Structure 1
């Protein structure tokens, strides 16, 4: 059966404006940072995302935006000029950088909600049909866990961000015989900048931890804007 949707998640990620390939971006040094977001900051972002409704999205929100949607939206607009595409596993939400900066946080949260709500049974079946229709599926292997590939088919870095939610995974409820874990996080963030994981804090007080990799030259600016714009 032919696909019923346009599966842009299987196309090559966008390039920086004025560039025809990602060769120069691949050469740039990257680094990893761990950001802490307090419970008060999390709730402040949720309030900010929900208090000013934005109608410029395909689907009007029928329920308050979640912690993930609020945090991921805030990540998407820090720092200005960096955001290009947010990849949520098999779905992608398109938007214009200028709109992200000019419109309220609810706009970015709404674009994320659109992408999440498109992940229906019918959409997944259509994606499988799309994959089955391809003669070579190698180019489709552009997910977050391409660490085994020395030269992944698609480069997901600048200007793209890949944001994963591990918020509700019960990491700290596990005990293998030596007590509660001190910290749980991704073992591999690859070399592509923009890889981001949002996780619960071991303090179990509603605060979050964000592990991400960015180009080294962008990291300080990102941290500045990330915390500076926090409610």
Structure 2
């Protein structure tokens, strides 16, 4: 599958179909650290549309123009004033639109059987490789590439990470699909409020010429999707919340969890009952370890085993959390920008592996639950006292960074001819230990983990029977 099979045939600039009524938006305490991160690269593989190529391009360009009118910040550029404050200048300069063709690529080739690595050709479906978000001072904040394949089409979106987080990214993408389907108005308008705890007069010192990436990006890596069905995740959740149990869970026990929805509890006769039938205190509805925390702990332990770390080596699992609902008062769910903080959870490799799944899952759970309004505000104050870029990377060989979320509406992107066949990413922000969580294509609580590891670590993970027994459609490699 040679990368040369993808050829860009045209490029143009798309402007909003209405002028912006917003002059500028100052980057926040949550935005500024991302200036040294690559632009986000995410996209969807769609069925072949019942449209000619010219009609398809006209539809997508028109839809993009309409979408930009509701997201005027994305049609602007970054600007740093004399005091050092960085803002988005909403000047309607537009975004770049690329049309590419790859007539020899099929959806079958792009969706190989379980057990195969992600085809590297996906990287050719995105623009602005290795571009740091600081470049938004001169580059567009968004680039959309539409790649026509033999029997499908890929819509790839590259977006400045100092301007958006995953929530804002997918709201934009969903709106683009919504207008392509023929919507006359937007259903989920972004909120451009800047009077929040994240708005700050603090200045981030930036070296002349801009920041440098915090990871090399040159090391050999393998990328793979591991699919976890709802059933498998419920088994992991049961293990995490039942430390006395062995890994093998009976069908009867898992059956008690059928109505689980990412760790949510259900109310019965005025009391709150966990999915295991246990009574949970009304004052502490978060006592239960969630499905996603259980899955993260499972991955953390498996990658730590595959890395063959010394028992006294500290391993760290970083998880990005959405702060919109953690603040008091809450931010609007569609607050535009970054509203995320990173939660590091550390443990000695020996302790993580000699204890059962519940031990590591409990560490992750308590850190997430403890990240409340006061914690968010402490994080803001800490950054204001020491403004710095986000240190993305695996600096000691023992780190894992979890990004994205299975909650994001990635498959709510029917452009008018069918929902996505798959969601994939480009090469941006990838290093040994970078994980991205996507909802499974089948929905119903399934999860796809996009795992990026050093080749020898990936091989160890593939041979890990404790890990692989929960992965759908794969067997341990001998």
TM-score of the pair, normalised by structure 2: 0.36
Does residue 67 in structure 1 map to residue 316 in structure 2? Answer: no
* RMSD between superposed Cα atoms in Å: 2.8
Number of equivalences: 189
Deviation at 1:215?
0.5
Counterpart selection for 1:177 from 412, 416, 421: 416
**CA distance 1:84–1:118, shift in 2 (3 Å):** same
- Structure 1: how far apart are the matches of 2:453 and 2:348? 21
Q: Which deviations, in whole Å up to 9, do the C-alpha atoms of 1:3-52 show, x marking residues without a partner?
A: xxxxxxxxxxxxxxxxxxxxxx9764111111112222211111111111
Counterpart selection for 2:315 from 65, 84, 97: 84
**CA distance 1:108–1:207, shift in 2 (3 Å):** same
Deviation at 1:163?
1.5
Counterpart selection for 1:195 from 415, 434, 452: 434
Match of 1:44 in 2: 235
- Structure 1: how far apart are the matches of 2:404 and 2:243? 24
Which moved further from structure 2: 214-223 or 198-207?
198-207
- Structure 1: how far apart are the matches of 2:468 and 2:396? 24
Which stretches in structure 1 are left out of the alignment for 5+ residues?
1-24, 55-59, 144-153
- Structure 1: how far apart are the matches of 2:406 and 2:449? 10
- Structure 2: how far apart are the matches of 1:172 and 1:157? 35
- Structure 2: how far apart are the matches of 1:73 and 1:61? 21
Counterpart mapping for 1:69-148 below 5 A: 69-79=293-303, 80=305, 81=308, 84-89=315-320, 90-134=342-386, 137-138=387-388, 140-143=389-392
- Structure 1: how far apart are the matches of 2:287 and 2:225? 30
Structure 2 counterpart SS, 1:130: helix
Match of 2:224 in 1: 33
Contact 1:157 1:192 survives alignment (8 Å): no
Does residue 212 in structure 1 map to residue 443 in structure 2? Answer: no
Larger RCO (alpha carbons 8 Å, 6+ apart): 1
- Structure 1: how far apart are the matches of 2:451 and 2:403? 10
Write 1 or 2 for the structure with the bigger share of helix: 1
Q: Which deviations, in whole Å up to 9, do the C-alpha atoms of 1:143-189 show, x marking residues without a partner?
A: 4xxxxxxxxxx645721001235111122223222320111233345
Which stretches in structure 2 are left out of the alignment for 5+ residues?
1-215, 246-283, 321-341, 472-478
- Structure 1: how far apart are the matches of 2:462 and 2:396? 18
- Structure 2: how far apart are the matches of 1:31 and 1:207? 23
**CA distance 1:228–1:36, shift in 2 (3 Å):** closer
Structure 2 counterpart SS, 1:101: helix
**CA distance 1:61–1:27, shift in 2 (3 Å):** farther
**CA distance 1:192–1:78, shift in 2 (3 Å):** same
